[in-house]
Structure 1
């Protein structure tokens, strides 16, 4: 098999190697909606850090190879303020300015397939998609349930407009709107499925309210404490959603839930005897617990012979940075703001240890009109601040 069909089959083979067998309907959707119809001529491709630019006109073979790899492809920087073409050098390497955050993409095919399997859409299901992006997932959903059953909402008018063109060229016309996906689309409810393609910290109750009993909501829960988590919720007769975190998922954040970036002016410094790498290397279950207990975020990075762990307070932009250096008995913690972020993260970590170090799959979530609650094993064991 050659050409586009051959590339699609190789991509499907790569996906199955990563996430296991793909059900026949999802496989057929991938075959019917070629990815290249939804990728712009110039984009960025790579792993956790984008590594290269691709240009269909300058190197069509490299462009097609990237499109049919399992890599995510970034299609917008800084909400459109930084043109991608301006960041690509003649040799394909990148020169990204500091403010060039990734703000829209075509997600990695394995991740797309994985979340579609969790969603389990069937012909005739009414689906709300939050985050149209390039339109590829809306096209896949249209093939799975029927285009007239798909409602897709995109916050960025320019991104939404390009998605509409992509979908038209692919021959499908789902119902597209521009707006904040957190509000859903009540005019088209009730939905059997809600498919979220952006990271969230809080599950908007509107999605539960607009789902029929038995409806399924699949979303990337991304508190930004280590990796993200796919959450699969089922809506019950009483208008409450319950579910668990079956696996990893990480997406760009919903714009209305992005963290603040301007910390307070107050700075302080102290020390800790806890090796910062203990928090940085914590497994998924610990990260989920620490996020749920504290409401904080965390990331780490290496710098020469040091290792820095940054704990953040998303609503305020405040932070604590713990720095590991070789040969030290104590480690410096610098802090912006008065809240002891590092100590809260450490306390939450050892609380997780005291529970027997449960894995991600033992945690769940309940969403009510009052908000969301993470729990361990059953809803009767809520994970709360001490």
Structure 2
């Protein structure tokens, strides 16, 4: 199949994907014309790495070498990595860490639907990426109503070029989007396309009272996020909203969480840690599904400044917890069918005790779903709550 034939087939596939997303209720009627008019193929690089949802792996896809596969991937509801390792990656094999991408079309459209934009609104987008979402917003609102900020200069330049080719002309800026862009604010709507661990208050200040902020948000405990739709209060000082759909976004560069595991155990395992036992199992804690299990969302709220790593080998799950403000750590090997397991944990925090305490809190409150929780952002920081902002966690 030639490139032209592949492109024509992709247009048909894109229309079919739009039909599927409309049937699922993800693509709303007001966004359907923009989706049809602005296919994401025009915003993807010649070499990219579509994500296989089944195998949870990425494989290179080169438009010049295999145009049929490239265009098919562009019109498929999968995330596509477009940059590895902050641009230091070379070659065609996947890099170590994906650092820029084109999100799943279903997620992009869900976030845009949550924005509830109206004619005349001004929108600030944090994280331009390929430029596709900015193009959709521009088609809907006009280029003079859309400002998009990208931290990576190379990514921003590629997005500008793609937007120009598509005839879409929002304001594209290079810089730290978490600072916002007050010069062209305030904004009626703000959308962030990078996972956040703290919500910058500057974005609340630059969104009008009654305006909306849509973003992926999560704790430092795992890489999982939840979409959050914050409503700015009428006095403009606070913003709050419920957690919604589970997602996983690349994290804002200034908020990435990393640890040097060797620094926690300079003398080897178990160091000076104390040993105890636990009755918490891998399935009860959700270690098998950290991207969606409600308890790990709650644990992230109740066990702050902590990173969880886990790995399954056969019938055993190894779990490590690392304190991010000190050298506290905890480790456990949880074997399927075994009622109690040994835990090692070090001073000063005793992180496993904090985790099991969080589990008792969660089950004691009826094991509430993640969607019952929300966050409020104030000048002093953020707070989490259950069901109602007055019921702080």
C-alpha distance in 1 between matches for 2:100 and 2:328: 26
Deviation per CA, 1:101-120, whole angstroms, max 9, x where unpaired?
11110001111011111111
Aligned-partner SS, 2:32? helix
Matched, 1:278 2:284: yes
Deviation per CA, 1:140-184, whole angstroms, max 9, x where unpaired?
111122111111111111111111111111111111111111100
Query: How far off is 1:24 after superposition?
Result: 1.9
**Structure 2 counterparts to residues 28-177 of structure 1, below 5 A:** 28-47=33-52, 49-83=56-90, 85-87=91-93, 96=95, 100-177=96-173
User: 368, 378, 386: which is aligned to 2:388?
Assistant: 378
CA contact (8 A) 1:224 1:299 kept: no
Query: How far off is 1:4 after superposition?
Result: 4.0
Query: How far off is 1:26 after superposition?
Result: 1.2
Deviation per CA, 1:181-236, whole angstroms, max 9, x where unpaired?
11000111100000010000111100000011111000000225453211101111
Q: Which runs of 5+ in 1 are unaligned?
A: 88-93
Q: Which runs of 5+ in 2 are unaligned?
A: 1-7, 266-270
Matched, 1:258 2:256: yes
Distance change in 2, residues 1:277/1:309 (3 Å): farther
Deviation per CA, 1:278-312, whole angstroms, max 9, x where unpaired?
21157643222211111234353322332223434
Distance change in 2, residues 1:317/1:241 (3 Å): farther
C-alpha distance in 1 between matches for 2:116 and 2:328: 40
Deviation per CA, 1:337-369, whole angstroms, max 9, x where unpaired?
743222212211110111111112211211110
Match of 1:292 in 2: 301
CA contact (8 A) 1:45 1:66 kept: yes
Deviation per CA, 1:68-93, whole angstroms, max 9, x where unpaired?
1111000111111112x331xxxxxx
| Structure 1 stretch displaced more, 221-230 or 374-383 | 221-230
C-alpha distance in 2 between matches for 1:365 and 1:47: 32
Match of 1:91 in 2: none
| Structure 1 stretch displaced more, 363-372 or 302-311 | 302-311
**Structure 2 counterparts to residues 235-246 of structure 1, below 5 A:** 235-238=232-235, 239-246=237-244
User: 181, 188, 203: which is aligned to 1:185?
Assistant: 181
Distance change in 2, residues 1:363/1:103 (3 Å): same
TM-score w.r.t. length of structure 1: 0.89
C-alpha distance in 2 between matches for 1:317 and 1:20: 47
Distance change in 2, residues 1:225/1:13 (3 Å): farther
Query: How far off is 1:65 after superposition?
Result: 0.9
Query: How far off is 1:43 after superposition?
Result: 1.2
CA contact (8 A) 2:129 2:159 kept: yes
Distance change in 2, residues 1:269/1:74 (3 Å): farther
Query: How far off is 1:3 after superposition?
Result: 3.5
Matched, 1:220 2:230: no
Distance change in 2, residues 1:104/1:320 (3 Å): farther
Matched, 1:229 2:226: yes
Aligned residues: 371
Match of 1:339 in 2: 349
TM-score w.r.t. length of structure 2: 0.88
Aligned-partner SS, 1:24? coil
